């Protein structure tokens, strides 16, 4: 029962930062615990978006991180009806050097989601992924 939303400016110029707002809203009647890894909630530490420019794939150029097993503090608690969000600057990790229309899509399902506090963290990496659908956003970049 998680809703996902992306938003970004409709237009920007080549060389300007492009911020994307990622939001997760809990539509259930109970708290949920989400591992934010591989989502924009933790920033861009891997290929969290699929990005195209005029239909052509834009390559990821940012960091790739490896982690130890998560701890309880690794999870984000989302209360009933609450929204968690984070803004990320996509031009730091993806090539936005050419004019065109960039389509930004959240690519990963959520790595681990539970409504049971006692399941956090899951032993042995027995994660329960949860797909979420975010409508993509388009940003048109114009020459400087």
Average pLDDT of the chain?
95
Residues 6+ apart with CB under 8 A from 49: 20, 40, 90, 94, 104, 105, 106, 107
Element (H, E) at 2: strand 2-7
The mean pLDDT of 35-54, rounded to a whole number, is 95
Structure tokens at 105: 């899509």
pTM above 0.85, yes or no: yes
Provide the 3-class DSSP secondary structure of residue 68.
coil
- Residue 25 has a pLDDT of 97
Structure tokens at 27: 């539509």
The mean pLDDT of 80-95, rounded to a whole number, is 97
Q: Is the pLDDT of residue 57 over 80?
A: yes
Angle at 114 between CA 31 and CA 22, to 5 degrees: 75
Confidence of residue 89 (pLDDT cuts 50, 70, 90): very high
**CATH code of the domain made up of 2-129:** 2.60.40.2970
- Residue 79 has a pLDDT of 98
- Residue 107 has a pLDDT of 85
- Residue 125 has a pLDDT of 81
Confidence of residue 66 (pLDDT cuts 50, 70, 90): confident
Decide if 91 contacts 14 (C-beta within 8 A): no
For the chain, domain boundaries = 2-129
What would the pLDDT profile of 93-138 be if each residue is shown by its tens digit? 999 999 999 999 998 799 999 999 999 998 888 999 999 989 999 9
């Amino acid at each position: 029962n998680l809703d996902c939303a992306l938003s970004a400016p409709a237009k920007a110029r080549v060389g300007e930062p492009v911020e994307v707002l990622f939001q997760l809203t809990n539509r259930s009647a109970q708290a949920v615990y989400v591992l934010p890894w591989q989502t924009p909630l933790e920033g861009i530490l891997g290929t969290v978006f699929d990005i195209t420019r005029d239909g052509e794939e834009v390559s990821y150029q940012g960091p790739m991180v490896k982690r130890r097993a998560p701890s309880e503090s690794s999870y984000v608690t989302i209360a009933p009806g609450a929204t968690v969000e984070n803004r990320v600057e996509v031009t730091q990790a993806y090539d936005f050097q050419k004019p065109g229309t960039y389509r930004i899509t959240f690519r990963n399902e959520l790595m681990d989601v539970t409504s049971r506090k006692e399941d956090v963290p899951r032993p042995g990496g027995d994660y329960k992924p949860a797909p979420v659908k975010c409508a993509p956003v388009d940003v048109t970049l114009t020459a400087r």
